Amino acid sequence: MKTAMEEINWNLITDEMHQNGYAILPNMLTDKDCEDLKADYYKADSFRKTVVMERYRFGLGEYKYFDYPLPKRIQQIRTTLYPHLAPIANAWFKALKMDRQFPLEHAELLKQCKENDQQKATALILKYGKGGFNTLHQDLYGDIYFPMQVVLFLNEPDKDYTGGEFVLTEQIPRAQSKAIVLKPKKGDMLVFTTNFRPKKGTKGYYRVQMKHGVSEVRTGERHTLGIIFHDALS
């Protein structure tokens, strides 16, 4: 993971985030990394909470939130990515004339979360079987939030599962929603907006609301690792 992280072209990723609100970074995890993370799903003492999605009408599937301290691999991803994403987030908020700037170190963001009583870990592994899906949503968890998050794909599409595409929707003011369907490969990382992105219009920048979800898995089993940079109230 360290080598892959060092090879990221952050200028290119920044441009893609500004233009699209998301960017796919290929081959960020090895096959072994993916298999190890999937195996973590069955280690009960690693997690603080399990959510059966159908129970809350979130979809069909299951996910588990890691507890602190996070596994070393996940902690490394979280703290290494954040300083590269914070300047993008700050540029977005400045463009939208929003009175908020994010600290450049992840520990400082977590300190702000703690001051707002957001102290629960939000890194999670999601598992879907046949028929599984995730309804469109945003992962905010409290008043303190970071406007970007990450998903790492732990199975190979069209081999380990079919269907299960990652879906983003854009809601442009006074217009119909636009759907974006993505199909990253095993080991790929997707960085995307948590709730909105700026878009340039004729009179400056305006806010485009975005949500994400997962289409129905037709066959097989699909696992992903989600990394959210802010902590949760519960």
Tens of pLDDT, residues 112-155:
999 999 999 999 999 999 999 999 999 999 999 999 999 999 99
Mean pLDDT over 91-102 rounds to 97
- Residue 42 corresponds to which amino acid? Y
Half-sphere exposure of 134 (CA within 13 A, CB side): 24
- Average model confidence (pLDDT) for the chain? 96
pTM: 0.95
The fraction of the chain above a pLDDT of 70, given in percent, is 99
Orientation angle between helical segments 10-20 and 72-95, nearest 10 degrees: 60
Tens of pLDDT, residue by residue over 203-234, are: 899 999 999 999 999 999 999 999 999 999 99
Name the maximum alpha-carbon separation found in the chain. Answer: 53
Find the range with the poorest average confidence among 1-5, 64-68, 162-166, 182-186. Answer: 1-5
Cα dihedral angle (176, 179, 180, 186), rounded to 10 degrees? 160
DSSP string computed for 28-86: -S-HHHHHHHHHHTT-GGGEEEEEEGGGGTSEESEEEEEPSSPPHHHHHHHHHHHHHHH
pLDDT tens-digit map of 148-190: 999 999 999 999 999 999 999 999 888 889 999 999 999 999 9
